[in-house]
Each structure stands twice: as C-alpha cells, then as structure tokens.
Amino acid sequence: MGVRVAVIPIGGEAVRLRPLTVETSKAMIRILNRPLAEFTIVNLARQGIEEIIMGVRGYYNYKDVYDYFGEGYWLEREYGIKVRLRYMPRAETRGNAEAVKISLEYYNIREPVLVVQGDNLFEIDLDSFYKVHEANKAFMTIALKEEERVEEFGVAAIDERMRILKFVEKPKRREDAPSNLVNTGLYLLSEDFLNFFEGEVGSKLYQEGLMDFGSNVIPAAISAGLPVYGYVTKGFWFDVGSPERYLKAALYLLNNLSPSDLASEEILPRIFVQGTSPESLALKRELRERINSGDIQVEGSVLIGRHVKIGRGVRLENAVIDNYTVIGDGAEIVDSVVMDRSVVGARARIEGSIVGRHCLVGEDVRLAGSVLGNDVTVGNKAVLVNVKVWPHKAVGSDVRLENFALT
C-alpha cells in the first residue's frame, strides 16, 4: 500500500509573484492555460492519491480555490481520475506545518501523508519516493533536487545512507553549501507526525509559533535525532515564486511536456492547440493551413487555447496564448505568456513578458521583460521595458516606462 492522502498548504499573499497575485491565490495563477494547482492535483491523482486536503489560509486563497475546484468530482469527467478534495477549516496558521497539523487533526488522519507546496510544479515518482520512506522507517522523507544555483534554497547535508544531518538555509556562497541537493518542499510524513507536537520538542515549537517546515520543524526534528531522510528526484521541479520563475517554468514545460500533458492536440510539430468542440476542430484546421501557408509564422513551441483569434502576419515563438484571446495583424509574441480574454493590438511586440487576464494591449506597443496584472490597459505605441503593472491600471498612449512598478 502506498501513500493515499496529500496536503497542499496554500497560505500567504505571494508578495514576490505580484502583480499576478494581487487579487489571485498563487495556486490559481493560470499557467499553460490552466490553474497552477490543477497540474499538481492531476499529477498526484494519476499516481494513486485518493484524497487531497487544500490547506488554504485567508479569504482569497479559499474562495479562489474552492470556487474553481469544489470537491473535485468534475476532475473525473475531465481527466478520468478519481480524487476527493477537502479543505482546511478557517484558522490562522503560523506556517505551512501548522496548516498540515490542523488539516490532519480536523479529518482525524493518522497515516502516512504527502505534503506538496501550492506554488510548485514538479514531476516525481511517488511509488519510489514512498518505498524509500518505508525502507528507512523515516519520521520524514524530503524530496531533494540537484541544483546548480543553490544560494536560493535550503541545501541538505547528508550521510552515505541519505540521512539528512542538517540544512544550510540559503548559503551566501556556493562553497558554503554542503552539497548540491536542495529542499523541494515535497515531504512524506509518517503516521507519527501529529505525535511530534505532543512531545517536548514539537510542543515547544507550537507554543512559540515556529511552525514552518523548512525553518523550524525539519531542523528541530533532525536535532532531536528523529530519522529524516532524503530522496533525490530526477524529474523537473519549479518553485513558481516570482514572475521570472513563472516564465521560466512555463517555457520549460511548453518545450518538454507531451500533447496530453498540455491537454491539447499537436497539429504541427511543437504546435499545440486545445479544445475538442466542433469550433475548436475547425480552428485547428484553419491554423494548420495558415501556418503551412506562412500567413502565421511559428517558431519553437506554441500552445494555443480555445476560441483564439489570430490576425494575418502574426509571429509566435515559444508562446502561450490562452482562451478567448484576440491577436491583431502583424503582432509578435516571443518567449511570453498571454492569459485568457486579452487583446493584443496590431503590430504589438511582446517579448519575455507576461500579460495577465482580460488585458488590452494597444497597437504598436512594445513590452519587454514586463508583467501586466489582470485587467490592465496599455495605450497605443507605449513602450514598457522591465515594468510591472498592478491590476486595473492604465498606461497611456505613447508613454515610455523602464524599470518601474505601476501600483
């Protein structure tokens, strides 16, 4: 028997992901034309997870997640998977470990549990992960990932049997890191996890409000001599904690996932189009003909959502175009994501940027390295370089902004 239950803590305001998260739970940010958390839920359910508890904290997190996913019954129709979604009760938590503790107590769960973070995208062999956890009779097993740039993460010091001796949190220099294995935030917990907080070490952490896994619980468990082990995962892993990381993850997955993982059909090599309705099938035929004739230029990998309108002479390169988007004649979208129901004006050029939901980008606009929150309007001939624009803001025509945040 493998692990059956997972908890996804979703708390905080995701300040580093702004302006994408000003009004939206980070778990519900659209990536590859679906909410981020949908990838995680489907991935886990396909590997045998039967029940997922959403450890949501705060009104926006709860409302966004619950209103979209509900109890998850629709996932069977959409993906052919059976998984039950439950939700943490309203409670103030002082860290992701407390969200897990409250969730397990509320539903009286005393069995091994998988914990994954709400802003991560990952690929892991859950069966292999669990077997390592069981073989070591571990209190906790942490999925580790080999990384070149370790300075942004907790780095594991391990012995020859993969027992974790300590974490060095965000080492300032590469030589200060004990290995190149970083903490992914994917944890397997033993059925004794709740008992930990009844003992001397855990109860002290709880009383002092030190309830973050990486900063508090894991170091304390290791210091107390509990068996904490590492498991090296070879699959991809992204902490989607900033717009830069979001874009890096989106473009990597766009270039590496299969058509089925992208919920799409590959109409031409690395050109993926979503939708199965008669209108969507007609759009696929139209796009295939127009790309073959050169009316639309495509390079690299491209994902196109449902009911998208693309003008003549449009150029797409490593681009994600979400549902109900309209792209004007001669526009160029390169290494960028355009979310749903946005309009991109004629001859606009968008490069290395993220355009949020329901945005209007005017004609002859230039966006480079910029991020537009939801419902942003950018006037004709505006130029934005390394700019972040908060939701519902408007940038006037002919305006030039560089290295600026419009909040």
- pLDDT recorded at residue 170: 77
The structure's pTM equals: 0.89
Q: Are 20 and 13 in contact (CB under 8 A)?
A: no
**What b/e sequence results for 304-332 when a residue is b if at least 16 CB atoms lie within 10 Å of its CB, and e otherwise?**
bbbbbebbebbebbbbbbbbbbbbbebbb
CA angle 279, 42, 49 (to 5 degrees): 150
Q: Which pair of structure tokens corresponds to residue 215? A: 């900063």
CA distances 39 to 30, 125, 204, 220, Å, are: 11, 15, 36, 32
Selection from 325, 407, 336 nearest residue 358 by Cα: 325
Query: Which residues have CB under 8 Å from 66's CB, separation 6+?
Result: 54, 56, 87
- pLDDT recorded at residue 15: 81
- d(CA 35, CA 3) in angstroms, rounded, equals 25
Crossing angle between the packed helical segments 36-46 and 59-69, to the nearest 10 degrees: 60
- What 3-state class would DSSP assign to 291? helix
Q: Are 274 and 33 in contact (CB under 8 A)?
A: yes
- d(CA 97, CA 201) in angstroms, rounded, equals 14
Please identify which residue in the block is written with the tokens 């069995």. 111
Per-residue pLDDT of the chain (407 residues; tens, 9 = 90+): 689 999 998 876 668 889 988 888 888 899 999 999 999 999 999 999 999 999 888 888 888 899 999 888 898 888 888 899 999 888 888 788 888 888 998 998 889 999 998 888 999 999 999 999 999 999 999 999 988 777 778 888 888 888 998 887 777 777 777 788 888 989 999 998 888 888 888 788 888 887 888 788 888 888 888 999 999 999 899 888 889 999 999 999 999 988 988 889 999 999 999 998 999 999 999 999 999 999 999 999 999 999 999 999 999 999 999 999 999 999 999 999 999 999 999 999 999 999 999 999 999 999 999 999 999 999 999 999 999 999 999 999 999 999 999 99
Residues 54/56/62/64 CA torsion (nearest 10 deg): -70
CA angle 221, 213, 53 (to 5 degrees): 120
- d(CA 82, CA 88) in angstroms, rounded, equals 20
